[in-house]
Amino acid sequence: MNYSYQIIEGTEIQPDELKIARAKSLALAIQHHPYCIEGTLVCRRRTDNSEVILVTLDIEIPQYPANGIQVYEDVAIICSACDNNFPEVYALREDFEESLPHTNLCSFDHPIALCVTEQSFTEAKLKLTEFEFIGYIRNWFTLTSLDKLHQEDQPLEPFFIPKGYVMLTHLYDPEKYTHLNRIGETNLYELSNEPSGHSSFHLFGFKSDPQTHGFVRRQPKVLSDIGEIIQIDGIAFPVVLRRILNERFKEFLQNQSLIKRKLAFHCCIPVKRHSDDTDTCSWEYLFFLTEASILDIGEKSGCLSQIDGLIVPIIIGDFEQEVIDNIPIELYSSMLDYNPSTSALFNNIKKNDDAFVLIGAGALGSQVFDHFVRMGFGTWTIIDHDNLYPHNLAKHSLDRKSVGYNKAIKVSEKANELHRMEIANPIDSDFLTIKKDDSVIAKLQDAKAIIDMSTSIAVARTLARDYNETIETPRISSFLNPDGTDLVVLAEDKRRKFRLDFLELQYYRCLFHDESLHDHLKYEDSLKLRYNRNSCREITNRINQTDVALNASICTKSLQLIIENGEPTISIWRTDKTTFEVRKYSFEPTKWIRKDIGEWTIHFDLWLLDRMNSFRYSKLPNETGGILIGSYDLSRKVIYICDSLFAPADSKENRSTFERGAEGLLTEYNKYLKVVDNQLCYLGEWHSHPQGCSTEPSTDDFNLYDYLYKRMSRQGSPVLMGILGDDDCNIIFRPCPT
């Protein structure tokens, strides 16, 4: 091989004289590799002690190869003694095409440096063999000959190897900014309209003619190096720059601070994937930073001078092209700033622009919201009237700087600052006090989902019942159990056939019927922490931040899925305190029937009705019964019947009469109340009538109801009687006197 490239020059040695371990292994692999041409191996040692291996490879190519790839290709492989990166690989042919994808920039045109793998050397070297590395090189040639090395769906490569980056804001407008300011001591800059005083540059923007993607062969060092690559209306960029400096000469003289500031240039380059494409595939934003100011250029051109600190012209508008051409430059590429679009991309999710309302920005709510914000998911209205206090810092997404301020306002500010645009709008109010405000109702109507994390039953009931005629938006409620190990998510379907108040009652019932969840709502006094001596109600829970963080992540993923599929949900995730395993409990939402009696509305769970019917059939021909369990809402005059404890063993069940016993019933009922934390209660009695009989109450039934009514109404509690027959359950109800 007779190549005179300086980079491969060195003293020729025999393969067994190689000293670098990787070079020795490569030489040995080449000698035994079936696609390395025998007799072409040449080894050299350079003056810097790195070792060069030259070899001809047999390449698998199609009948009509693309990009000029040939069957036999000469390559050089350079191994360094430090072995801290892949060996350098060069294609040696003097007519090898330039500007191919996956080649590396050098300070020379030839040979062409190949990028044969995208792997990290630190990871790859643990198992990389020299046979495999030769395979990487051959694969590079083969795919390039097929024009498939750079896939159609692969992002276009940058034009140059940048020294650093400039952050581009969302919806970037190149004419909007006049300065580049350095961030800290990094090679990262941000756009601004004011100089920061710290490594600040005055910025000039240009839009160039379209270019085809692919690396430029040389890393630009001075402005003239980019003249052929970046052109504006067919004119080289340095020539255009000289024209602008001359045309705006007088304007610059009137701004003494600008004329002394270092210059930076921004080029917006339309990029085509293929040279014959008519449409632009993407845009490349390049920044060229210099150490030169307009004053420096003018002084070297002989058209500007400083006299006693005052800048004065010598010859109007005569900046020399040679001076401009030789301005040293450092190339900076663009980096998209963090915004909803990029955050969704980085989180591997589809961007969501829907509006959401979050009620409650406490421990769970703030952390779930923070997850959504960092994923660029949605725009938000946050409603919370609480302020952040020191004890909240243990498990809140906000930090000490927000102590004493409203939670909704501060989490919104944090989100908007993160994205540098408004994605969250706070409302510093108690939801129950503003629930009738037109602006609040409009927010609820426009939302994709209303997410309640206020841990307030009053808020949940308001959302479930008070907007049924005006707001179709599905409601979702999520909260933690008292010790923070269990996450609960109750979600309406997108058509609201399964309402939130029904889901809540079913959730309580499910706790009792699954014995493993009997401690779900268990509340230990030791978990309470009083943080104000002035009120016995000012209490916070001792919940571990790791539990809140884990459940917030699960909650966020769950909400995403619910929002996407619109299915009703009753789910509990429980974390084992010893193994930290998470178990999910899912319960099928059931349908309810409604009965209106006067001003009152009674809702009856069909799951319970089916269960009562089955129990009745098991006892026929005798009558049977039990007690009714559920909840009531006195302010809205609503009663929910969701469960029953059936007749105990000492009950008297006959063909025409039923007398409920009491054996063990009180114990079981008290157990029920404890499991559900008193969220359900006794509502009355039910019994069955024989087959073929009416469900109209008998005299005995009326007498029993009167007895119950007198006892319960004294306590202000409504009382029901259910009579179950073949086809229906007749509900007897009389409102309490007011």
Dist. CA 564–CA 537, nearest whole Å: 39
Cα–Cα distances in Å, from 486 out to 341, 478, 717?
A: 33, 11, 32
Dist. CA 404–CA 388, nearest whole Å: 5
Angle 216-222-226 (CA atoms, 0-180°, nearest 5)?
A: 35
623 is catalytic: yes
Is the backbone peptide bond immediately before 589 cis, with ω within 30 degrees of 0?
Answer: no
Long-range own/partner contacts, residues 28-33 (CB < 8 A, 24 or more apart)? 28/130, 29/129, 29/130, 29/131, 29/133, 29/134, 30/55, 30/134, 33/131, 33/134
Which one, of 326, 327, 295, lies nearest residue 313 by Cα?
Answer: 295
* Residue predicted with more confidence, 251 or 475: 475
Q: Contact 356/451 with Cβ under 8 angstroms? A: yes
Residue 688 — very low, low, confident or very high, per pLDDT cuts 50/70/90?
Answer: very high
Q: Which two tokens stand for residue 458?
A: 């009053």
Task: Output the DSSP codes for 541-574.
Answer: E---HHHHHHHHHHHHHHHHHHHHH---EEEEEE
Tell me what pLDDT residue 616 has: 96
Tell me what pLDDT residue 530 has: 40
Which one, of 520, 445, 522, 453, lies nearest residue 491 by Cα?
Answer: 453
Cα–Cα distances in Å, from 458 out to 123, 455, 508, 541?
A: 56, 9, 16, 20
What percent of the chain clears pLDDT 90, i.e. is strictly above it? 70
Which residues lie closer than 8 Å to 71 by C-beta, 6 or more apart?
58, 59, 61
Residue 545 — very low, low, confident or very high, per pLDDT cuts 50/70/90?
Answer: very high
Mean pLDDT of the chain: 90
434 burial class (0-12, 13-18, 19+ CB within 10 angstroms)?
Answer: middle
- For residues 618-639, give the mean pLDDT: 95
Residue 5 has pLDDT above 50, yes or no: yes
- For residues 263-287, give the mean pLDDT: 82
Residue 176 — very low, low, confident or very high, per pLDDT cuts 50/70/90?
Answer: confident
CA 126 distance to own-chain centroid: 33
The gap between the terminal CA atoms of the chain, to the nearest Å, is: 108
Task: Output the DSSP codes for 109-143.
Answer: SSSEEE----S-HHHHTTT--HHHHHHHHHHHHHH
> 504, 623, 653, 685: which one is catalytic?
623
- For residues 266-271, give the mean pLDDT: 86
Q: Contact 724/689 with Cβ under 8 angstroms? A: yes
Cα–Cα distances in Å, from 36 out to 42, 59, 134?
A: 12, 9, 9
Is the backbone peptide bond immediately before 621 cis, with ω within 30 degrees of 0?
Answer: yes
CA 84 distance to own-chain centroid: 35
Tell me what pLDDT residue 216 has: 54
Tell me what pLDDT residue 529 has: 47
Site of tokens 């701004």 = 255
Q: pTM above the 0.75 mark?
A: yes
Q: Which two tokens stand for residue 459?
A: 């808020």
| C-alpha dihedral sign at 689, 692, 695, 697 | negative
- For residues 24-38, give the mean pLDDT: 94
Q: Give the chain's length.
A: 738
Residue 210 has pLDDT above 80, yes or no: yes
- All structural domains of the chain, each given as residue ranges with its CATH number in brackets, are 6-145 (no CATH), 164-337 (no CATH), 349-586 (3.40.50.720), 592-733 (3.40.140.10)
What percent of the chain clears pLDDT 70, i.e. is strictly above it? 94
Helix (H, G, I), strand (E, B) or coil at 685: strand
Tell me what pLDDT residue 528 has: 53
Q: Which two tokens stand for residue 433?
A: 């006090």
Which one, of 384, 383, 379, lies nearest residue 356 by Cα?
Answer: 379
Residue pLDDT, tens place only, 341-382: 889 988 999 999 999 999 999 999 999 999 999 999 999 999
Which one, of 263, 283, 260, lies nearest residue 271 by Cα?
Answer: 283
Residue 184 — very low, low, confident or very high, per pLDDT cuts 50/70/90?
Answer: confident
Tell me what pLDDT residue 281 has: 73
Tell me what pLDDT residue 675 has: 96
- Can you state the angle between helices 21-32 and 130-145, rounded to 10 degrees? 60
Tell me what pLDDT residue 159 has: 53
Q: Contact 285/332 with Cβ under 8 angstroms? A: no
- For residues 82-100, give the mean pLDDT: 90
| Sheet with strand 729-733: strands edge to edge | 592-597, 600-605, 638-646, 625-633, 681-688, 720-724, 729-733
Site of tokens 């810097």 = 48
Greatest mean pLDDT range, 228-232, 261-265, 587-591: 587-591
Least confident of 136-150, 217-231, 240-254, 341-355: 217-231
Extended strands (E) in 533-650: 539-541, 569-575, 582-586, 592-597, 600-605, 625-633, 638-646
Residue pLDDT, tens place only, 122-157: 888 888 899 999 999 999 999 999 988 766 555 555
Tell me what pLDDT residue 600 has: 95
- For residues 428-445, give the mean pLDDT: 96
Site of tokens 């939801």 = 431
Residue pLDDT, tens place only, 508-534: 999 999 999 999 998 776 555 444 433
Residue pLDDT, tens place only, 93-110: 999 988 788 888 777 888
Which strand (E) or helix (H) includes residue 270? Answer: strand 262-272
Helix (H, G, I), strand (E, B) or coil at 458: helix
Dist. CA 484–CA 466, nearest whole Å: 30
Dist. CA 368–CA 352, nearest whole Å: 16
Tell me what pLDDT residue 150 has: 67
Residue pLDDT, tens place only, 549-564: 999 999 999 999 999 9
Dist. CA 295–CA 311, nearest whole Å: 8
Cα–Cα distances in Å, from 288 out to 177, 186, 220, 229?
A: 15, 16, 10, 13
- Provide the total of helices (H) and of strands (E) in the chain, helices listed first: 19, 38
Residue pLDDT, tens place only, 39-62: 999 999 999 999 999 999 999 999
Tell me what pLDDT residue 356 has: 98
Residue 387 — very low, low, confident or very high, per pLDDT cuts 50/70/90?
Answer: very high
Q: Contact 428/440 with Cβ under 8 angstroms? A: no
- For residues 702-720, give the mean pLDDT: 89
Tell me what pLDDT residue 258 has: 84
Tell me what pLDDT residue 533 has: 36
